[in-house]
Amino acid sequence: MKLEIGNFYVKEIVFSEKTSYSKGLLTINKREALDFIKEDEHITEAELHIVNPGDRVRLCPVKEAIEPRIKLNGDALFPGYTGDLSQAGNGRTHALKDCSILVVGKHWGGFQDGLIDMSGEGAKYTYFSQLKNIVLVADTDEDFEKREQQKKNKALRKAGHRLAEYVASCIKNMEPEDIETYELDSISKRSSEIQKLPSMVFVMQAQSQMEEDGYNDLVYGWDTNHMVPTYMHPNEILDGAIISGSFMPCSSKWSTYDFQNNPTIKRLYEEHGKTLNFLGVIMSNLNVALEQKNRSALFVAQLAKSLGADGAIVAEEGYGNPDADFVACIVALEDAGVKTVGITNECTGRDGQSQPLVTLDEKLNAIVSCGNVSELIELPPMDTVLGELEALGRDGLSGGWANDEILGPSVRPDGSIVMENNAMFCGDQVVGWSTKTMKEF
């Protein structure tokens, strides 16, 4: 497979009479964009905003992030989901860089939703504070789940995915500022020089725990709960084959933007042919029952060994129950002779004294930590809130609460907040681009 991503670097976004791009300026016709969004009869209210790094703006509850892109051959940006099923990972895709589409609930949040601050202390905790963002604030007629802690957020999330393709359509026929090329020869047909290098696979444990459709990550529009671990070409993941689901404590979640720009995949590509032989991606899953977890671990180890992997990186979307999948997978790989590094966050409690993972094993001797989900964060009021800040304490967001006997409410009368890192939107960046570091004592 050969994938070309043509990049257009956005320096400024403004509303205007026409949706267009020129020399770093992205203009959006708000009325036409909102009309497009409201073609979905389930969207009852919608508004668009533009927020930039440094703006004194707080967004909550944030549900999804997507990079605006368009495929030149006419295929759907997210095949099998926003359009007909087709092969991702081949051909040319154009991308608007340094920006994203953020989807925010106008009224209702849930366990899987989070918060973004565009400036101040809170901006340090999430990658999306560094981007110019087109923010869709909307509500739906999905009344049956509004007061449910777990929400599918189907109409809101899909509105964001469709909007990402709509906005990027303005660059479809333009010449990109640069082109990234991703290409791997067939594993058995690589040069002898590459074959001599250590062979590496990347194991991605995507969120798939919910047995009811609609909550989990999707692969080509297919619910990941239905799959067993399988080999995927890394280009497929970078090119829209996978979209984020709506079940996971928010700091641990992988947004669709994270799949589209996965930095671990990109770094493995950079090292391919230099220091390692990048074999590809084993797309695994997360399960509930112990037998299911062990079965998936065996699948992953068998695939890695059959591919000829000397080493593996395992990344876990989530924590808690999924820790058992994460540990079992690493143990199975090590038992198969595949040296493995894990990437995960930890749940060590607010005081940092609890066991970091639900289960541990002495074979986990190379783990990269992305932070403690229970770490307390206090943030001052912001001038502007997009969405409904009360959702943080009212609707069961994973890092917020209505009232605590010691800390009081998450959302204070003056608009300041106290919350766990859990509620920071994709804050732990388990995909590999966390800015957090360890502190020595």
The per-residue pLDDT for range 254-290, each reduced to its tens digit, is 999 999 999 999 999 999 999 999 999 999 999 999 9
Q: Cα dist. 130→117, 165, 409, 422, 424 in Å?
A: 10, 21, 28, 20, 14
Q: Which residues of 299-309 are buried (b: 16+ CB within 10 A; e: fewer)?
A: bbbebbeebeb
Q: What are residue 138's DSSP bridge partners?
A: 46, 105
Q: Is residue 73 one of the residues assigned to a domain? A: yes
With beta carbons less than 8 A apart as the criterion, state whether 378 and 406 touch. no
Residue 66 amino acid letter: I
Residue 439 included in any domain: no
Residue 128 domain flag: yes
Identify whether the C-beta of residue 378 lies closer than 8 Å to the C-beta of residue 411. Answer: no
For residue 309, what pLDDT is reported?
98
pLDDT score of 437: 76
Q: Does residue 194 fall inside a structural domain?
A: yes
| Residue (of 334, 222, 339, 361) closest to 283 by Cα position | 222
Count the domains in the chain.
Answer: 1
133 assigned to some structural domain: yes
Q: Which domain holds residue 235?
A: 2-423
Asked whether residue 441 is domain-assigned, the answer is no
Segments of the chain with pLDDT less than 70: none
428 in any annotated domain: no
438 within domain boundaries: no
**CB-side neighbour CA atoms (13 Å) of 13:** 26
